[in-house]
Amino acid sequence: MYFVCLFESLTITTVLNTGTLFTVVPFVTALISFVFLKDKISTQKAIVYVVGAMGTIWVVFQGNIDLLLSFSLNNGDLLFLLGAISMCCYAVAMKYLYKDDEMIVLVFSILLGGVFWSSLILLVKDQPLQWNLIEGSVTYNMLYLAIAATLITTYLSQKATICLGPNKVISYFYLNPAFVAILLYVMNDEKIEMIIIPGILLSIIATILLQRDVKVTKTKK
């Protein structure tokens, strides 16, 4: 649901808007964890969530207050928000429903389920796969998405969520804009503007604070 909502919303709204709305994911995950996993949210932790969101928003808007004040929601944003909430539920479900399953079997089942639901949506929307468009460098990009961004990422996030809990894993999302800025600098030589440095630092500080008191749980490989 998250990826369907993401791609559909981007045909209506902007990356700036989706990036801003994505900052609510860690806090919403904490609220759902409070209900289903009984993970308490202290006042101090709630403040840290706000600080992390502020840091991420700072980076997304590149410190431009006028751009932030002109932010408004549209139908695409509401669609993406639905997808973001589904991501929160997924993270909590990984911990809530885990019953000492073999991790590799669990990841295989998750991906198999993803294939089923994606195929069903394709059939309902009568959307062609367009395999003929996958050629040249696109082939390598698709392989990266399938292996690194899907298979390996799913395995690592699943295992980390079981060990650390959904709140701590999802809190790393605050670092996404910072990592994007760093990767763009390393790979495309795009300069990191000094104005976004305070936002990056706030995001890093919030993420570190949310990782405190980690209780590691043993899991099967």
d(CA 130, CA 93): 33
Q: Residue 216: what pLDDT? A: 42
Q: What is the pTM of this model?
A: 0.81
| Tens-digit pLDDT profile for residues 30-49 | 999 999 988 888 888 899 99
List of residues 6+ apart from 78 with CB closer than 8 A: none
d(CA 126, CA 130): 12
- Number of structural domains (the chain) is 1
Q: Residue 221: what pLDDT? A: 54
Q: Residue 214: what pLDDT? A: 46
Does residue 18 form part of some domain?
yes
Q: Residue 121: what pLDDT? A: 85
d(CA 184, CA 182): 5
Does residue 44 form part of some domain?
yes
Does residue 97 form part of some domain?
yes
Does residue 217 form part of some domain?
no
Does residue 221 form part of some domain?
no
The whole domain housing 123 covers 2-210
Does residue 216 form part of some domain?
no
Does residue 215 form part of some domain?
no
| Residue (of 100, 110, 82, 93) closest to 25 by Cα position | 82
Does residue 165 form part of some domain?
yes
Q: Which residues of the chain have pLDDT under 70?
A: 213-221
Q: How far from 76 is each of 5, 8, 79, 83, 151, CA to CA, in Å?
A: 9, 8, 5, 11, 28
